[in-house]
Amino acid sequence: MDIKIDDIAKLANVSRGTVDRVLHNRGRVSEKTAAKVRKIVQEMNYQPNSLGRAFAMSQKKLKLGVLLTYKERQFGDQIMSGIVAGAELAEQFGFEVLIRAVESPTVETCMEVLREFAEEGVSGIAMRGLAYPQIEAEVQKMRTNGIKIVTFNSDMVPSARDCFVGQDHQNSGRCAAFLMQEICRFPGNILILGVDTFHQASMNRIESFCEVMRESQLISPNTQIYYAEGKNQLSYKITCNYLKTTDAVSGIFVSGAGLCGACQAVEENGLIGKIKIVGFDATDVNAVYLKKGTVQFLIDQDPYQQGYLPLKLLTDSIFQGRPIEKDYYDTGISIKTKYNL
């Protein structure tokens, strides 16, 4: 017999909405009414389906963990807005969502959060991927133990997660190279600023950017990559030094956090518009430099969806008892100028 919520509601003499709230463990229902609904569900012989899973979940609170790491607070806030919306959706289906935000993360701080999630018995984790071997090994072990893993924004090795939600960083790097070719004067030198070698998104963008620029013979095979750790103070120092020691600087490519420091150096040297800058993420502070003409292009990546979609995928997968359908969900490439912010 295919049991429906309407059948349960009729037998319990309550509304369909009341049954839904009991099964999903949400909203206000008196304990007496909730007990009556649960008793009827238990007594009825039904095949395992979404109703059965909803009832099982109402008996035992399932948990999801979210680990958001970030270098710049404004970008972290953009992702967090999606996480909050995703958590609200998950809570409607009876999940408890543990959100942990870590600014300027280290291996140790991230491992502490992952251990906390394991101790809490989470069924799934949404996390910004960090390509440190210790973290990837820990996450892979958790996945082996049945915990679903969705990475967002920056990825890890595919074997460590169920799917990745984010931009195609290889193609976004190619887009950056195309834009740089269109706006820069050549011959000229290009400063390439990365985050660090464990930031997979930044590294993928740089790799494909350099590939396109080398194919066009606009940078040499031994062009140096500078790493500012996503810190504006360090990117400022690197840019200032590069401008002092390098002739004919045409452009600056910033592959992640740290754009503002490079912009400040260009402005202080009176080079607005003379040196072209391509960077990432249309945060409020980055948009200021775009509007002033210090930055020519920002490549945006829909951070809201990167926060929201992982929790929706985990909720749907665990609630319905099925695998996540795809291993990659693309949040797109959006090129911003001062005219379309």
Each residue of 133-152: pLDDT tens digit? Answer: 999 999 999 999 999 999 99
DSSP conformational letter for 228: -
Spatial separation of the C-alpha atoms in residues 252 and 279, rounded to whole Å: 8
Tokens encoding 55: 């009832």
Kind and range of the H or E run holding 139: helix 133-144
Q: What pLDDT shows up at residue 338?
A: 95
Range name among 46-60, 94-108, 159-173 with the lowest pLDDT average: 46-60
Tens-place pLDDT, residues 219-236? 998 899 999 999 999 999
Q: What's the pLDDT score for residue 53? A: 57
Strand order in 334-336's β-sheet? 226-227, 189-194, 249-254, 276-280, 297-300, 334-336
Q: How confident is the model at residue 69 (pLDDT cuts 50, 70, 90)?
A: very high
Place of tokens 């931009």: 167
Q: For residues 66 and 267, what is the distance between their CA atoms, to the nearest angstrom?
A: 38
CA distances 249 to 149, 194, 239, 240, Å, are: 43, 17, 11, 12
Q: Kind and range of the H or E element at 264?
A: helix 259-268
Q: What is the pLDDT of residue 50?
A: 56
Domain-by-domain residue ranges, the chain? 5-59, 62-167+303-336, 169-300
169-300 has which fold?
Rossmann fold (3.40.50)
pLDDT surpasses 80 at 2: no
Question: What is the model's pTM?
Answer: 0.82
Q: Is it the case that residue 323 has pLDDT exceeding 50?
A: yes
Poorest-confidence range of 89-93, 177-181, 234-238, 330-334? Answer: 89-93
Q: Sorting pLDDT into bands at 50, 70 and 90, what band is 51?
A: low
- CATH 1.10.1060.10 is the classification of domain 62-167+303-336: no
CATH ID of 5-59, from 1.20.120, 1.10.260, 1.10.10, 1.10.510: 1.10.260
Q: Residue 75 pLDDT > 90, yes or no?
A: yes
Mean pLDDT score of the chain: 91
Q: What is the DSSP letter of 125?
A: E
Distance CA 252, CA 273 (A): 12
Q: Which burial class, exposed, middle or buried, applies to 48 when counting CB atoms under 10 A from its CB (0-12, 13-18, 19+)?
A: exposed
- Identical topology for domains 62-167+303-336 and 169-300: yes
Cβ atoms within 10 Å of 159's Cβ, excluding its own: 10
Higher-scoring residue by pLDDT: 244, 46:
244
